[in-house]
Structure 1
Amino acid sequence: MSFTLSSHLLALIQGLGTSAGLIMAIGAQNAFVLTQGLRRQYHWPIAGICSFFDALLVTVGVAGVGALVSESEAWLMVARLGGAAFLLWYGFQSLRSAMNTNSMGSSTHELTSLRSAILTTLAITLLNPHVYLDTVVLIGSIGGQFPADERPWFAIGAISFSFIWFFSISLGARWLAPLFKKPVAWRVLDASVCIVMWSIAASLLLAI
């Protein structure tokens, strides 16, 4: 009985570790959540949406869909093109904001309502193929190697870290707020977001 419990705990820890290794890397979602956390603008709903879809996609991947998705060249092509187009646009908006000498976080793509926050978060999440590759394909493939009774524990570990990470970024951003009282800090952040978005878009296009 103790062996079964320890194997479940091990699967959960491995899920946490796998998710941490993938989600903590600088990416479109992290840059977006951090930016909105600094603005204190719909940051909790944004963190919740990112976490929810990570949980959904991890569950789908561990259930066995990851292997099927990775074999569909047509789907991957559409996802890469659509994702690259959106990331190029979002990066351009960040670049425009960075070039605004009066910028104090009032970006050209500032969210003006909860609806716009939800729609932008959905776009950042669902139009970015890296989200699917990390959650459905990579985490799903790793989780699929565990025995059937351990897979749910692996998924719980991966999902738990996603919630911890996104809400930590949203909460932790408030301690960085004093650094962003000067326009130059916002310009550096917007320029960094532009670089991140365009780098990911370039990697998607080069993979075609």
Structure 2
Amino acid sequence: MIAAAIHGFILALGLILPLGAQNAFVLTQGTAHRRFTKVLPVIVTASLCDTILIALAVLGISVIMLEHDWIKALLYLLGCGFLLYTGWTTWKSRHEIHTPLPDSRGISAKKQIGFAVTVSLLNPHAILDTVGVIGTSSVQYAGPAKLVFAMVCIITSWLWFIGLGAAGQFIGQQAQSPRILSLIPALSAVIMWGTALYLAYLLILLLQGQA
């Protein structure tokens, strides 16, 4: 079971380390809020979404769902649309850095949750990575070892997002120049738009029967 735990930790960390749309959004909200409690909605939502994806991957349910091309096409379409919208909202928020509010410069808890769900569950690329890597890797384990593997993947995800939110807040508090702070949401928006364009490309390939 120790081997399963180490395997789960390395695998989960390797999947979430790249600065994708989900990580970029959590980091941006960390820099935008003055209090850590204000960042908790996006941290908890992103962590719960990853927990759901990991559980579905280990149980094998997500593999069955993604066998149907129309489900993948729908996910690509929805993910592309929502990421374009989320990217635009994040891009506009860079102007708010220059006029900070008493407690935060970020979006509300409700919007944090909605956007976090979007960049987590409506990102087919992330879903396919989770299914293809974590789901496939979990097949080699059974019983308690499989449970340990899944739990370590989930715990690693939670710790990562907590650390990312805290790191974003530290950057927001230490950076004195509003110009520097405004670069973070701008970079996040570009990452989201890039992900949206990639999903649009995958959708085209799927519709052409090449995916």
Q: Same fold by TM-score, threshold 0.5 exceeded? A: yes
1:136/1:82 Cα in 2 relative to 1: closer, same or farther (>3 Å)? Answer: same
Alpha-carbon RMSD: 2.3
Kindly indicate whether the alpha-carbon contact (under 8 Å) linking 1:104 and 1:181 is maintained by their aligned counterparts in 2.
no
Moved more, 179-188 or 192-201: 179-188
Aligned to 1:4: none
Alignment of 1:17-96 (within 5 A): 17-40=10-33, 42-96=38-92
In structure 2, give the amino acid aligned to 1:38.
T
| Residue deviations 1:110-149 (CA, integer Å, cap 9, x gap) | 413x323322322232222233223344311221232344
In structure 1, give the amino acid aligned to 2:53.
L
In structure 1, give the amino acid aligned to 2:44.
G
| Count of aligned residue pairs for this structure pair | 197
Moved more, 10-19 or 180-189: 180-189
Alignment of 1:106-185 (within 5 A): 110-112=106-108, 114-185=109-180
Would you say 1:11 and 2:4 are equivalent positions?
A: yes
Kindly indicate whether the alpha-carbon contact (under 8 Å) linking 2:26 and 2:164 is maintained by their aligned counterparts in 1.
yes
Aligned to 1:5: none
1:140/1:105 Cα in 2 relative to 1: closer, same or farther (>3 Å)? Answer: farther
What is the deviation of 1:101? 9.1
What is the deviation of 1:53? 1.9
1:96/1:62 Cα in 2 relative to 1: closer, same or farther (>3 Å)? Answer: same
1:69/1:119 Cα in 2 relative to 1: closer, same or farther (>3 Å)? Answer: same
What is the deviation of 1:83? 0.3
Would you say 1:206 and 2:197 are equivalent positions?
A: no
Kindly indicate whether the alpha-carbon contact (under 8 Å) linking 2:30 and 2:39 is maintained by their aligned counterparts in 1.
yes
* 5+ residue gaps, structure 1: 1-7
| Percent identical residues | 28
* 5+ residue gaps, structure 2: 204-211
| Residue deviations 1:88-123 (CA, integer Å, cap 9, x gap) | 12222333344x4973568xx9413x3233223222
Instruction: Give the Cα–Cα distance (whole angstroms) in 1 for the partners of residues 190 and 111 of structure 2.
Output: 23
1:151/1:35 Cα in 2 relative to 1: closer, same or farther (>3 Å)? Answer: same
In structure 2, give the amino acid aligned to 1:87.
L
| Residue deviations 1:27-74 (CA, integer Å, cap 9, x gap) | 111111111111226211221121122112211210112331332211
Kindly indicate whether the alpha-carbon contact (under 8 Å) linking 2:31 and 2:181 is maintained by their aligned counterparts in 1.
no
1:12/1:105 Cα in 2 relative to 1: closer, same or farther (>3 Å)? Answer: farther
Kindly indicate whether the alpha-carbon contact (under 8 Å) linking 2:66 and 2:72 is maintained by their aligned counterparts in 1.
yes
Instruction: Give the Cα–Cα distance (whole angstroms) in 2 for the partners of residues 73 and 144 of structure 1.
Output: 24
Instruction: Give the Cα–Cα distance (whole angstroms) in 1 for the partners of residues 132 and 42 of structure 2.
Output: 23
Instruction: Give the Cα–Cα distance (whole angstroms) in 1 for the partners of residues 85 and 159 of structure 2.
Output: 29
In structure 2, give the amino acid aligned to 1:153.
V
In structure 1, give the amino acid aligned to 2:195.
I
